[in-house]
Amino acid sequence: MVRMEIALFLVLGMVAFMYFTAEKKLSKLHKIFSVLLITVLVHLIFDGITIYTVNHLDVVPTLVNDIFHRCFVGTMAFVLFLFYKYIAILVEEETGKPRKLDPIARIFLVLSEIGVLILPIHYTQTSQGNYSDGSYAYVSYIGVAFYLLLCSGLLFGNWKKINPKKKFAIGVALIFEFTICVMQGFHHTWLISGMGITLMTLSFYLTLENPDIIRAELTEQKMSMLYLKSQVNPHFLYNTLDTIRIQAELNQDKKVAEFLMHLVDFFRISVKVDRQMVTLDDELDLLEAYMDLMCYRYPDLQYEYDIDPDFEGMQVPNFILQPLVENSLLHGLKNKGYRGKVVISVKKDPKGMEIAIQDNGSGFDKGKKELIDEMLKNYAKKTSKLEGNSIGLLNVQKRIKFLCGKDYGLWYTENENGGVTAHLALPLKEAGK
């Protein structure tokens, strides 16, 4: 059995090495999985040690046996709690429901650890092998059953709302652990609990946490960004060039040179940065170049900034504001003959900072806001029949979630005096940190 635990440790150790050396998304889910990996490795060490000590009761002092067994069962309780935590966060991201069971899970963990520390241990010797028993062991059995019950409730209680891939990962993990627990219950001397926990960990790693999957997602996001940058509305480009041509024909004016300068600035700024994250200041420079062009084409169009200088050095996803402002113009101010104003403001938010893009246009068409809200909420799901600007909004949402974490994102509100406001919740992260 010790050899099996060594093999499990080596396999999971290799998994941990690949996971921690690979490019990862920084999110609650991945932080929990990182802690889970380390805890499972520690648990497997104690598992291997106790398998040896419990089968050498004549050599190993009882106190040493007790210490290692309590560490083994204590880490098992913590591992099962982390599995619950991982699944709870995963389900929360899918459904948007708060984790109401967290306090109960934490209280049970504390009680379990106390029970493991103070309850008596009994060792049973058989011809097939020895194993630990007694009150302290019952705590572990109850703990495993309790957390498996919580996780099963989360899975089946939200069955229709969970992504099939994640549903599969959770289901396979629970089946592995349940099967091993039943086998261990019927054959106490098998000492295979470590196998169940290892298989649970591997099921999540291979389906959701695999570095290859993460790299594929990164590649997809990079391609999306490049596509977005290359797909500046062709009508905007054609109309702009046509405006230059007409103006040149009518009057050789300095304004033509000024207009050309704005156009050149826009292209220069839009292509100079190929990073996924840039400073807010750089992003605003690009937006200003774009708005200067639009204001030249439409003299009744106005824009203004309300930006705290302290935020200008903060990092934001590249090319994220221009699509939202363009959306305000095309779907809000266009219907008013581009007579109106766009206000871009940045303020502190409990989660970091909030960028607001407010217009006084015609607002949403009937039923449009509900469709956008649903699309942004279910950004991870494949949505068919999306139109041009909807694709742009979805791209913005996906990139925010991917680069900044699930707690951040895009949403819309309707203004009391007409028009709409796009809200971006982003973390406070300075460039170079």
Q: How far is residue 115's CA from residue 337's CA, in Å, rounded to a whole number?
A: 72
- Please choose, from the candidates 100, 85, 99, 139, the residue with its C-alpha nearest in 3D space to the C-alpha of residue 117: 139
- Please choose, from the candidates 156, 204, 154, the residue with its C-alpha nearest in 3D space to the C-alpha of residue 177: 204
Q: How far is residue 50's CA from residue 131's CA, in Å, rounded to a whole number?
A: 9
Q: How far is residue 384's CA from residue 390's CA, in Å, rounded to a whole number?
A: 11
Q: Domain 2-209: give its CATH code.
A: 1.20.1070.10
- 364's torsion region: left (phi>0), alpha (psi -120 to 50) or beta? beta
Task: Output the tens digit of pLDDT for each of the chain's 433 residues.
Answer: 567 778 888 888 888 888 888 766 567 888 899 999 999 999 999 988 998 998 899 899 999 999 999 999 999 999 999 999 999 998 988 887 888 889 999 999 999 999 989 999 988 888 888 888 888 878 878 888 999 999 999 999 998 888 888 899 999 999 988 888 888 777 766 667 788 889 899 888 888 887 666 555 555 555 555 555 555 554 566 566 667 767 766 777 767 767 766 676 676 666 555 577 888 988 898 898 889 888 888 899 999 999 888 888 889 998 889 989 998 998 889 888 899 999 999 998 888 899 999 999 988 888 888 889 988 988 877 554 555 567 788 888 988 988 888 889 999 999 988 899 999 999 988 765 5
Give the H or E element holding residue 204.
Answer: helix 193-204
What is the Cα 348 distance to its own chain's centre? Answer: 22
Contact 350, 314 (CB under 8 A): no
Half-sphere exposure of 417 (CA within 13 A, CB side): 5
Q: How far is residue 266's CA from residue 237's CA, in Å, rounded to a whole number?
A: 11
Query: For the domain with range 217-426, which CATH number is right: 2.60.40.10, 3.40.1190.20, 1.10.606.20, 3.30.565.10?
Result: 3.30.565.10
Write out the DSSP string of 52-86: HHHT-TTTS-HHHHHHHHHHHHHHHHHHHHHHHHH
Contact 316, 351 (CB under 8 A): no
Q: What is the pLDDT of residues 288-314, one digit of tens each?
A: 888 988 888 889 999 999 988 888 888
- Please choose, from the candidates 34, 43, 116, 117, the residue with its C-alpha nearest in 3D space to the C-alpha of residue 75: 43
What residue segments make up the domains of the chain, in order of their start? 2-209, 217-426
Q: How far is residue 128's CA from residue 188's CA, in Å, rounded to a whole number?
A: 10
Q: How far is residue 129's CA from residue 289's CA, in Å, rounded to a whole number?
A: 77
- Please choose, from the candidates 412, 376, 370, the residue with its C-alpha nearest in 3D space to the C-alpha of residue 396: 376
How many helices (H) and strands (E) are present in the chain, helices listed first?
Answer: 14, 9
Q: What is the pLDDT of residues 228-263, one digit of tens each?
A: 555 555 456 656 666 776 776 677 776 776 776 667
What is the Cα 299 distance to its own chain's centre? Answer: 42
> What tokens were used for 309?
């200088």
